[in-house]
Structure 1
């Protein structure tokens, strides 16, 4: 963790300038320490939780050699014997030098004929012993009979009573057999610590007979909105007031990340009320999110508050939308907590504009929450797309435009900005299906040039 001296130096260095997004992400990443507590949960309750330790397979998967398709199981050595000129299934050896009319070996020399000794089904294996040149009718997933290592597909055989015949050239020894432990061997890690458990993982764990797993405790995140102009849904709107959408947006974004969210409501623009909210949030949560109150007009008060309650690493970003964003940490009992050894809460002071709230959450906050949850935080997917129109861009900041991306008949991506890019127009986020990411050093974009897009699917 960064020391107080390092923090003070960092604040002084960047006090008069907006911090590039990449640098801000690096600072947040350095301060985002995973929660240490783990708990065991039943498998049905594990979806979306973060594994606290590796899960090691207690069995082989599959548990036995089995058939990969419906057909007939037999000892594949017969195929090798036939290829070497050994007697055929009838026991008769073809005449040396015998050829068909087209110069090929006689059909009998290419055919293998086997006697069907029984059948094997999934859950009902064939338990008998096979004589030479016998086979077993077998279904997909059924255990391979003793002495068998090859399955010829049922579509390739000709059935005549208790016998089947097939072209030996079409099958190789060992074909269509799944080996025991081929998918997962006993003692091999099935899932690694830090994985967010998905639906397929639940099925995998069930296939191993695992009834419960060790997961990190859920991250606790407290959030509130600030502003005298805000009203909650259900309250009447007076002149100059608006409904608070940010808390609902933040709650929904947090729900996608599987954290325990604590909604502290709306806090008025009063120093005592704000300080009480910050102290309450820091005492009850690992992370504190506020929206509003961090623009230039409120920064002096917020800065003074944090001199009493904690540390702030940066105040504004070279980012659009989302320039006014404060990041730091809060001690539940004020700055004296630095010496007491208590664990601080990370603090993100998000902008007040709704679109800026979402942009900063996904570009700055999301990774920190995943890291603190103990999860492997993979970077959001980005794709290259051709700009449909020219876009004005000032070098020296990263811009996240709302875009509508589509694929042409040639499979290439193309993207158009939404009709408005106002940071207060939340409807533009609903209209869009991606962020258009214009890098810090980039200038204007000419129509047809490639830009990076960040699809909303799987992110928002």
Structure 2
């Protein structure tokens, strides 16, 4: 068996962008992955502008201003945002509003709360002003020709706003990744149907579909597949006709009723089969009929955890994303883990109100309640123990679900 880190590198090394591109309106591109850099054709801001509502001045006119010897200046013009003024005449001031262009000859803005309006409408200044005060310089945010968003970046709300701020009305993005998924097991029953003796409800279908949707994938769901080699082969063949990548759950052991491995080997190849990981030792990576294939275990927790740790970064890379690996936080463990294991283990935990992490009372791979209760995973290396107060590596679900 290979280690988890070896498996992760194998997954990432095998991943290649598996989708084409399309051009969409920026307004509707939230959550999409950029397929090319967005380069600004303008400076932002495009001119020197005011950061405050106030009065634009030539600073030399206020050089001798003080409370004892105030300087009164007449208002020569009014410049709201969205308009441009005239060159400022020496010895005058311009009423200016936030975002409005600084008129030529002016070099500073005095905030409106720092002046007094005289009865004749002139403005009284009682202190000097430094050139550049409350002036937002041209291109101080973005210079023309600079890259504002790189290919492979997800268009999250702030990035969308940045792209829009340089006037980009359309963006080239990767199209949605189509994932064919099926669930192996004659014992699987659809929720809402009567549960026969020996049957179990197919919870993995709901978990994996939801995780794929969180990753902005299109799901081609083949449902539950009975435990026969013919049915398993047919499921792969159907998925390969439509999907960019195929994921199966269950049927990953080597018993008489487990048909994933022989079906894959008859239609393609297997590059990886087992990982020294708990939960989730039986995990497969390969190819079926020219399409990438991931085989997840059937135990609910194992399927959930291996999807997050191995399938997720692989799928993100197929989508064209650059940053695909979740970064753990270092958090205090408020629990003991006294039995060192032979495999690296990812245990279900939840942050508490003391800033530490609590451990779910059972880590059995069949207890899906542990995943619903938890808000993240802690990585416990093979052969390691944890004592209360130790700092551990914590992967929050909030990062793993996107």
- When the two structures are superposed, what TM-score results if normalisation uses the length of structure 1? 0.82
Superposition pairs of residues 406-421 of structure 1, within 5 angstroms: 406-408=352-354, 413-421=355-363
Change (3 A) 1:354 1:137: same
Residue 165 of structure 1 corresponds to 125
CA distance in 2, matches of 1:207, 1:180: 14
Residue 36 of structure 2 corresponds to 53
Contact 2:153/2:322 (8 A) holds in 1: yes
Superposition pairs of residues 387-426 of structure 1, within 5 angstroms: 387-408=333-354, 413-426=355-368
Residue 5 of structure 1 corresponds to none
Residue 79 of structure 2 corresponds to 120
Residue 372 of structure 2 corresponds to 430
Contact 1:61/1:184 (8 A) holds in 2: yes
Q: 1:242 aligned to 2:200?
A: yes
CA distance in 1, matches of 2:321, 2:284: 24
Q: Per-residue deviation at 1:167?
A: 1.4
Q: 1:346 aligned to 2:292?
A: yes
Change (3 A) 1:330 1:389: same
Q: Which moved more, 1:304-313 or 1:173-182?
A: 304-313
Instruction: Output one character per residue of 1:287-322: Cα deviation in whole Å (capped at 9) or x when no partner.
Output: 111111102426985433333211212211111111
Instruction: Output one character per residue of 1:55-103: Cα deviation in whole Å (capped at 9) or x when no partner.
Output: 1112222222110111211123446xx3xxxxx47xxxxxxxxxxxxxx
CA distance in 1, matches of 2:256, 2:102: 74
Superposition CA RMSD, Å: 2.0
Residue 397 of structure 2 corresponds to 456
Aligned-partner SS, 1:58: coil
Contact 1:35/1:217 (8 A) holds in 2: no
CA distance in 2, matches of 1:230, 1:396: 31
Change (3 A) 1:228 1:375: same
Aligned-partner SS, 1:146: coil
| Aligned partner of 1:369 among 275, 296, 315 | 315
Aligned-partner SS, 2:195: coil
Contact 1:159/1:165 (8 A) holds in 2: no
Q: 1:192 aligned to 2:150?
A: yes
Contact 1:71/1:152 (8 A) holds in 2: yes
Residue 263 of structure 2 corresponds to 305
Change (3 A) 1:427 1:301: closer
Aligned-partner SS, 1:19: coil
CA distance in 2, matches of 1:430, 1:420: 13
Q: Per-residue deviation at 1:393?
A: 4.1
| Aligned partner of 1:443 among 384, 387, 393 | 384
Q: 1:27 aligned to 2:27?
A: no
Contact 2:377/2:397 (8 A) holds in 1: yes
Contact 2:316/2:324 (8 A) holds in 1: no
Structure 1: tracts of 5 or more residues without a match: 1-17, 83-87, 90-105, 332-343
| Aligned partner of 1:357 among 291, 303, 309 | 303
Change (3 A) 1:173 1:299: farther
Structure 2: tracts of 5 or more residues without a match: none
CA distance in 1, matches of 2:102, 2:126: 20
Residue 337 of structure 1 corresponds to none
CA distance in 1, matches of 2:211, 2:365: 18
Residue 149 of structure 1 corresponds to 107
Contact 1:434/1:453 (8 A) holds in 2: yes
Aligned residues: 399
Residue 100 of structure 1 corresponds to none
Q: 1:201 aligned to 2:142?
A: no
Q: Per-residue deviation at 1:270?
A: 0.5
